[in-house]
Amino acid sequence: MTVRLKDVAEQAGVSIKTVSNVVHGHIHVTDETRLKVQKAIDELGYRPNLSARSLRTGRTNIIALAVPRLSEPYFAELADQVVHAADRHGYTVLVDHTEGQRDRESAVVSGIQPQFIDGILFSPLALETADLEAAPAEVPFVLLGEHVAATGRADHVSIDNVAAARAATDHLIALGRRRIAVIGARRARRARTVAPRVKGFRQAHREAGLTVDSRLLIPTERLDRPNGAQAMGHLLDLDEPPDAVFCVTDMLAVGALRTLADRGVAVPDDVAVVGFDGIADGLYCVPRLTTIAPDKEQLATTAIDALMQRITTRRDEAPRELHVDFDLMVRESTAGRAAAS
């Protein structure tokens, strides 16, 4: 038997309007009432009629999230936060991954259909501004990540990557490190994504009156563990190896730590290592990884709030650049076990 709003209202001892407010994520409901209604929904197995709701409101209460790879911990953790943030607005999230391939990213933009979704959060790697400008106007979207900027009607949410990389490099310089390498400096398919991080690295050197040794800027094909391990091996084979390494992603840093351990190099005594992304794996490395950690919860909340505004009241307003916070998480890979604890 189909469970109706009326049934949930009777079970919870509230009005049908109150149940509707809870189902649609409206904020004008007390926590006590919301819990009571949610308990009744769970007990009765109530499921909203999405088709009827869409016809009535002109919305599906469904949004999409398109990221390069869910296999990358950063995007998996971000997706988790996006789902929680959307749920607070009564929205369901459909997740897709594009592998950073131009044709798949183009399909995301061209395939947007208002009868299926109300909006999209999109982290493109291959598309250019002109490609995004051509997106259908019916469905609003918000851009995530470093590769793109606010464009047309799309807001852009990110951290200040230049400032973050500068903070990581300043930390290494303050520790007395002078031969600081970068793993993932260029050539990766996401080279434009990491360019601001390399810029911040250079700025920190310039402000400290130090010169960057170009031999210590190591390109990688991908920003993953195997490439990090390989690049670290190359650095250790130099006549003058580095005394610190800034990895433009945590996964590169994890790979670098593996090679350092295999070669018997002490971290951080001989080589200090900093990553970028603040993934959970960094807490379980040996040693624990110092990293730049974007506030993923704030990033997801800011992006979802911006998208909700585009869906409702800001559809035709000028795009915004929205920056969220980051932290330099100092751990054992730079500070040593005693200092980090």
Give me the average pLDDT of each 10-residue run along the chain (341 residues): 80 85 71 85 75 54 90 94 91 89 84 74 83 75 76 84 97 97 81 86 97 96 95 97 98 98 98 97 96 96 93 78 95 84 57
Q: Say what the pLDDT of residue 149 is.
A: 58
CATH topology of domain 5-44: 434 Repressor (Amino-terminal Domain) (1.10.260)
Q: Say what the pLDDT of residue 24 is.
A: 66
Domain 161-294 has CATH 3.40.50.2300: yes
**Tokens in use for 150?**
């606010």
From residue 189, how far is each of 41, 73, 228, 240 by CA, in Å?
A: 47, 18, 15, 29
pTM: 0.80
List of residues 6+ apart from 273 with CB closer than 8 A: 244, 245, 247, 253, 256, 257, 260, 267, 289, 290, 333, 334
How many residues appear in the chain? Answer: 341
Q: Say what the pLDDT of residue 55 is.
A: 44
> Where in the sequence of the chain do the CATH 1.10.260.40 domains occur?
5-44
Domain 57-158+295-324 belongs to what architecture?
A: 3-Layer(aba) Sandwich (3.40)
> Where in the sequence of the chain do the CATH 3.40.50.2300 domains occur?
57-158+295-324, 161-294
